[in-house]
Structure 1
Amino acid sequence: MEAIDVIAAKRDGGELTREQIDWVVDAYTRGAVAEEQMAALCMAVVWRGMTRAETGAWTRAMLDSGERLDFSGLGRPTTDKHSTGGVGDKITLALTPTVAACGAAVPQLSGRGLGHTGGTLDKLESIPGWHAGLTPEGMRRRLGETGAVVCAAGPGLAPADRKLYALRDVTATVESIPLIAASIMSKKLAEGTGSLVLDVKVGSGAFMKDVASARELAETMVAIGTDHGVRTRALLTAMDAPLGRRVGNALEVAEAVEVLAGGGPGDVVELTVELAREMLQAAGLHDARDPAEALRDGSAMDSWRRMIAAQGGDPDAPTPVAAEQRDVLAPATGTLTRLDAYGVGVAAWRLGAGRARKEDPVSAGAGVELHAAPGEEVRAGRPLFTLHTDGPDRFGRAAEALADAFTIDGPPDRFPLILDRVG
């Protein structure tokens, strides 16, 4: 085959065959298709889209580019959750040990933050001693011991996607639902989990800004998972305002531990419990104990401590604290009716909690503490946000990001926490 023929076929609105897709993905991964040719093909996909068959074939081709993990024989079913990313989204931290405490095994491959969205691995790495790198054998051993693993994907998992994602990131071809769905699902299918629950975020702080596009992405990913024999379902959840009251790395770990201790913000608790119930049902554990009870009786916390210790972390060690703090005061008294997730995420990023490029370092202690959530009363001159950073020169630009990120006494403007269910 020739790459130019595949590009032209998609440019002209044709449906690519499985043979064409298998060839072009494999050839690109091997370096036989040039970067500019694959960039042209991705742009053609952005404009022309893909059918369900094409998207499934593209996913399978990326999946087949590397190894697949196998966690059969653990003695309990495997299930996983994937979030499309947001601000204050520390759900994985509390969810993974909670589901493990209820009888499932959770092999959670997670990523790092980029831009205004946080990364689970960055958060966990703020715990002294904890490390993200595990071999497949190390994952299996820890799953057998604790039922819960959160770690980085190894280089052998879907290498085609790793190379292709980097290309899409610099060629303005990220915004394609078929390519997004195939990217996510190739990694999740390679993970070897028996069932999967997708948390598709909707709102200003999410990749999908509106319900219609989020539902399309959810339906596409559920179809891919189902076609590959993995029990898959999705929840559409709100990301117009941040989740919880803390945005950052160590800040979010501390809040997740509060949830595991039976407290924490109501929205974080609610979403943790709802996703846990979905995961247990997808895993076939219809008679499992209720996750809310695992949070109340301390078993989820016990599971967290085992999970952290198994990856070298000290669950009793204090997490890092930023060197500098500064309050942003409420300009008026009234009801906080809007708190924009994107603005808060950008502020945390500018304080050092996020990165502009994948290789950039992050500050463990940096971030934003929220003193009110939408619907709550605020008072003029009282703290609305507390900014945490290691560099005081960062305060100014972070405060600029927050200046238009809230409304007091305006019309209520919020999504419900859980908007829809797919699958």
Structure 2
Amino acid sequence: MAPAAVTLAADASRLSSADTGFMLICSALVMLMTPGLAFFYGGMVRVKSTLNMLMMSFISLGIVTLLWVFYGFALAFGTDRGSFLGWTSAFAGFSGIDRMQLWDGTTIPVFAFAVFQLMFAVITPALISGALADRVKFTAWSVFLVLWVTIVYFPVAHWVWGEGGWAHDLGVIDFAGGTAVHINAGAAALGVILVIGKRVGFQKDPMRPHSLPLVMLGAGLLWFGWFGFNAGSWLGNDDGVSALMFVNTQIATGAAMLAWLAWERFRHGAFTTLGAASGAVAGLVAITPSGGAVSPLGAIAVGAVAGVLCSMAVGLKYRLGYDDSLDVVGVHMVGGVVGSLLIGFLADGKGQSAAKGLFYGGGPGQLGKQCAGVFAVLAYSLIASAVLALLLDRTIGMRVTQDTEISGVDRAQHAETAYDFSGAGGGVIAGAAQAPAVARTRRVDA
């Protein structure tokens, strides 16, 4: 990310239509990632929770958009106030932004930068929802979303990307969100699930994905949209850094997918579609902070390490006994940590900055900076998210009732089901033929 403070630009001729168009396309790609995430998560849950999982992502598009306009952009990217938060009153409600006003140091309008960053703010809390599948009230989730982006995401975005933010000024490298997005969301997910507890039947009942094709579709949309997420974070494309990030995104994702599958084959004897999708996402997560600082060969290393370590981390929930429904902690938190820390080893000084890692003669300085950013964000998000979840659980209640959880949150929370089989055939013979299959499906889904 190349953030900067905002000043009025009297010389409107500096505005680049090419860079502006590039950023608007990237913003649209990042927006597509949230529906992609909804499909990815929606396919991984059981039938009875599909719509709820889709809605937990989709609702972020509405809530966070309004909060970003009202005060989020001002808090995250306004004038620094003590290295921890920003504020510029002209940004509140977008009331003082002129359409020709440029984001300082760039050739794009403030509006283009603001909408690009909005899409990051939208998807980050949506990532958390995967850890809470099957058991959270939709109203409580919506309130949590409001509180979390206000108290956690907006300040952390300022730390990492805002001019004057402590992590930004320290020199922590986070090209597109390893700390601010993925570690932030993964640590938050861990904090919340430690408060709300496990699903009914965790480690006892089968909780298999109901639609692996839907998972693969979601993973494909995420992969596609991630090019905008990563390449767009340089806010332009006139020096080759965005192209480097684009290339490294593809390379690391492919390497991570193959590494995950290889580890899965070694450990469990099969190459699974869920493993391929999860490995790809792990690679996308890990290259997000590091892709502008490493070479293409370095991107292979980032992806391969992330693929194996994230696959290993996913299994920890069974050993440690925390119920991370869709592996948000294992993929996003661990992947974000891996990608952020590997900068301290693999940065070659030829990309976004001259900073070099240990393997390129840079010494331990950059690694120390990366550790400071990683563990500060992780600790803050974990603690703050757990406190917010505890507060809501003690007041309005975070969890649905046990009966609702067993029967399915879709009907109770949304008065709908994802699949309507009532019109699938007709007549006595057809109905009798379908009955055993429906019964088997219900037993698995329950």
Shorter chain as denominator, the TM-score bin is under 0.3
Q: TM-score by structure 2 length? A: 0.27
Q: TM-score by structure 1 length? A: 0.28
Q: Which has the higher helix share?
A: 2
Q: Which has the higher strand share?
A: 1
